[in-house]
Structure 1
């Protein structure tokens, strides 16, 4: 718990608007991906095809869209950012692995890697000073 407090203190003293804009852009991207997966089931099943033979393959289809949808919204407003990011990491690892287990699609691989590293950054950095988390903390 002390490590999280130290990371929050460091993040709050080193908060810049570009990092907040990056967090919002990441959240908007994930939110739009969640909507895209919800509206296009055929694309979603095509992406999950390499994982069909795995136990619980259908759970993957039902986890990805809501996790992107809800997690993206939480990341945009900066509420429970670390929890939302941790929910995205297995999905992003699956997106990276899909390119190696299925057909290699380089633009999707690059996009998944960029989003994965952005999520890793915000898992360490937190939501920053311009977020609901910070506002609620200051109201205590």
Structure 2
């Protein structure tokens, strides 16, 4: 537990504002992916059934699609706002790991496989923001500053 607190402290100390803009873009990309999952569930369902690693049935695939879409929608908003960012990122990391290793990697490392490269980039950014946290332009920082003020 001490190692995690030291990593969080290091991340809190080494924050820059340009990374906040990157966090906002990352949150919007994840939110957009959640919207695309909701709007076209048949494509995602076909993608999961083609790469059915865990042997899910039709009902479980449908539930998984809706859970992933919900996690992307809520997580994308939380990451964009910088509200409980580390928690939102930790929820997204297993989804992206599954996307990289079980779904997109089966198509190969070709340049037309842009989904693989996007998934790898998003996964690396999620790990980065898990370490550094929200940043100075976030709701978390605003709440932290508001808590520290004294109202006399």
TM-score normalised by length of structure 1:
0.86
1:53 to 41, 52, 55: 55
Q: Which runs of 5+ in 2 are unaligned?
A: 148-152
The 5 Å alignment of 1:52-131 reads 53-54=55-56, 56-96=60-100, 97-101=102-106, 103-104=107-108, 106-131=113-138
Is contact 1:26–1:115 with CA below 8 Å preserved after alignment? Answer: yes
Measure, in 2, the Cα distance between the counterparts of 1:127 and 1:78: 5
Q: 1:87 Cα shift?
A: 0.8
Is contact 1:67–1:88 with CA below 8 Å preserved after alignment? Answer: yes
Backbone CA RMSD of aligned residues = 2.1
Q: Between Structure 1 and Structure 2, how many residues are aligned? A: 139
Q: Report which of the two structures shows the higher radius of gyration computed on alpha carbons.
A: 2
Q: Which runs of 5+ in 1 are unaligned?
A: none
